[in-house]
Chain A
Amino acid sequence: MNNKRKYILLFLAPAFCIYTLFMVYPLVESIRLSFFKTVNNGDLIFVGWANFEKMLTDPLWYNQFLNGLKNNFYFFFIHMIIQNPLGLLFASLISMRFLRASNFYRTMLFLPTLLSFVLVGFIWKLIISPLWGITENFLIFFGLGDWFQPWLGLPETALVTVALISVWQFIGIPMMLFYAALINIPDEIIDAGYCDGLSGWSIFWKIKIPLLFPTIGIISILTFVGNFNAFDLIYVMQGAIAGPAFSTDILGTFFYRTFFGFQLQPGDPNLGAVLASMMFFIILTGVCIYLFLIQTRFKRYQL
C-alpha cells in the first residue's frame, strides 16, 4: 500500500508541478493582479474593482476594448461561416467511397496548417500587395480588375482579409476532424438510406449531418477558443497597432499593447491583467455554454 502511494507520487509529481507552476499559478495570479495597482517603487496596492471600472468606463480604454471585442466576434463569425462549412464540404468529398487520390487531397489541404503564422502572414502580404501586382493582374485577367483594392490598407476590408487568410491557414483542422467523423459512420446506415430510395443529397442532410452534430460542436468550440486567443497572424501582418485605424485590433493584440505599451503609451501590467481576466471569462463562458447546453443535447445521437 505504501509502495503504491510512492509510485503515484513519483509518476504524478513532475507533471503536476510544472503544470501548476507554469500554467495554473500564472492564470490565478493574473486574475489576482487585476485587482491591484503597481506604484512607482514596484509595490502593489489593492484597488478592488477599480481597474475593471477603468477598462469599462474610461473612454480611452472602453472604446478600444469594445472595438477589439467586436472585431474578435467578427473574426470568429468569418471562421464559422466560411472555414467550418468549407472544411465539411472538403471532408465529405474526400470521404466519398471509391474516390481516387483522397490521400493526396487530404495531405495538400492540411499543408497550410503546418506553416507558421510568420510565413503565412508574409506570403499573403506579398501576394495581395499592390506593389507586386500579382493579385491585381490575376483579377484583370478574369475581367475583374475593378475589384482590386489594397485590401490590407483599407479599414473596411482589412479585418475580412486577415480573417480569410487565417481561414486559408487553418481549414485543414475542421476538414480533418470532419473527415475522421465521416469515415466512422458505418456503411450499413448509408446503404440502408440508399435502399430506402434517399438521394445522396438527402442522405447527407438527414443521416450524416445529425450524426455529425457532436463533431460540429467540438469544432465550433475549438474555433471559438482559438479565435479569442488569436494574436500572431495580425501581429505579423498589421503590427501590434493592428492598423489601419485599429480596424484589425482583436483582444489578443489589444492585450499585447496594454501590457507592453506602444509608441507614447507606457505598458500597464495591471490593466493587462484585467484584459486577461476578461478574456479568461469570455472563453470560460463559451466553454461552459458548449459543455452544459450544447454537448448534453448531442448525446442521444451517438452511435
Chain B
Amino acid sequence: MIFKTVQTTGTQSRFNEAIAHIVLMSYTLFCLFPIILIVINSFKTKRGIFNEPLQFPNFKTFSLDGYHTVLTQGNFGLYFFNSISVTTVSIVLIILLGSMAAYALSEYRFIGNSLLSLYFAIGIMIPIRLGTIAILKLVVSLKLINTLSALILVYIAQGLPLAIFILNEFMRTISSEIKDAARVDGLSEMSIFFKIIVPIMRPSIATVMVFSMIPIWNDLWFPLILASGDKVKTITLGAQQFMGQYVTDWTSILAVLSLAIFPVLLLYMLFSKQIIRGITAGSVK
C-alpha cells in the first residue's frame, strides 16, 4: 500500500515538476527582461533605441554617447563614493553597537532588562521616517545638516532594533559554560565578547548585514531631506536628480540606469549565498 502511493506520487511529480519549471521560468524572464532591456539599449544611439528596442546593438546602432554624457556631466564617482562610505560605516557600527547591546541584554540579569529589550524592539515595527520633522530639527541644531554623519547616525538608529533583536535571539543559544570557562581563565568581559562571542556569531552577523544594507543603500528619503548638497549626495539621490534633469535624453538615462544596476548586481553575485542563507536562517527561528 505504502509502496503503491509512493510510486504514483513519483510519476505525478514528474508532471508537476514540468509545470513548476514553466511557471518559475516565465516569472524569472519577467524579472530579468526589464533589466536586460535597459542594459542593451544603453549601448545604442537614440535612433537604435526607438527603432529596434529589442535588438542587441550592432555596428550601425552601437554608441557610447550616453555613458559619455553621464561620466562628464554628473559627479557619479563622488556620489558612488558617498554611498559606499555611508553604507559601510553604518553597517559596521550597527553590527558593533548592536552586538554589544545584545550581549549585555542576553548575558547579564539586571533590573529593567526585559523592559529595555522591549524598548529596542519597538523600533522594528515603527518606521523612523515618522520622526523626520524632529530629526531634521535635531540635525540642524547639531550643525550636521548636509553631512554624511547625519545620514550615518540616522541609519544606525534605524538599523539597531532589528540587529539587537536577531543577535539577542542568537546569543541566548550560546552555552554559558564557554563564557564561564573563559572567566575562570581570567579573560576580561571585553575580551570574552570580542574573542569568543563575536567569532561564534558570524552567521547571524551576516544576516544582520544583509537586512540592514539594502534599505540603507537604496534610501532616497533621508538623503533628499538631510543631505542633498552636491558634495554629499548618495548615488540613489544623484541618479534620481540626474534623470529628472535629462528627462528627454534617453541615451543618458539608460546609461545611468545601467551604471547604477552594475554595483548592485556585483554585490549580489558576491553575497547571493550569504543573502539567501541569512534570510532563511533569520526567519526559521
Contact = CB atoms under 8 A, between A and B. Distances in A.
B180 interface: no
B137 to A, nearest CB: 8
Interface of A: 3-5, 7-8, 10-12, 14-16, 18-19, 21-27, 29-30, 33, 89-90, 93-94, 96-101, 103-119, 122-124, 126-127, 132-134, 168, 176-177, 179-181, 183-184, 194-195, 197, 200, 215, 218, 221, 225, 229, 231-232, 235-236, 252, 259, 269, 272-273, 276-277, 279-280, 283-284, 287
A93 B100 CA distance: 40
A23 B217 contact: no
B70 to A, nearest CB: 14
Contacts of B189: 3, 7
24 contacts: A12-B105, A14-B100, A22-B135, A22-B157, A25-B138, A33-B134, A99-B20, A107-B272, A110-B276, A111-B31, A115-B264, A116-B218, A117-B236, A118-B240, A119-B239, A124-B34, A126-B250, A126-B253, A132-B50, A134-B37, A183-B280, A252-B129, A273-B133, A276-B133
Interface string B1-21: 010011001001100110011
Contacts of A21: 138, 153, 157
Interface residues of B, number: 89
A284 B276 contact: no
The 6 closest A-B pairs by CB, nearest first: A26-B131, A22-B157, A116-B218, A29-B134, A26-B134, A11-B104
A168 to B, nearest CB: 8
Interface residues of A: mostly helix, strand, loop or mixed?
helix
Interface of B: 2, 5-6, 9, 12-13, 16-17, 20-21, 23-24, 27-28, 30-32, 34-35, 37-38, 49-50, 53-54, 97-98, 100-101, 103-105, 108, 110, 116, 119-120, 122-123, 125-135, 137-138, 153-154, 156-158, 160-161, 164, 189-190, 193, 214, 217-221, 236, 239-240, 243, 250, 253-254, 257, 260-261, 264, 267-268, 272, 275-276, 279-280, 283-284
Contacts of B240: 118, 236
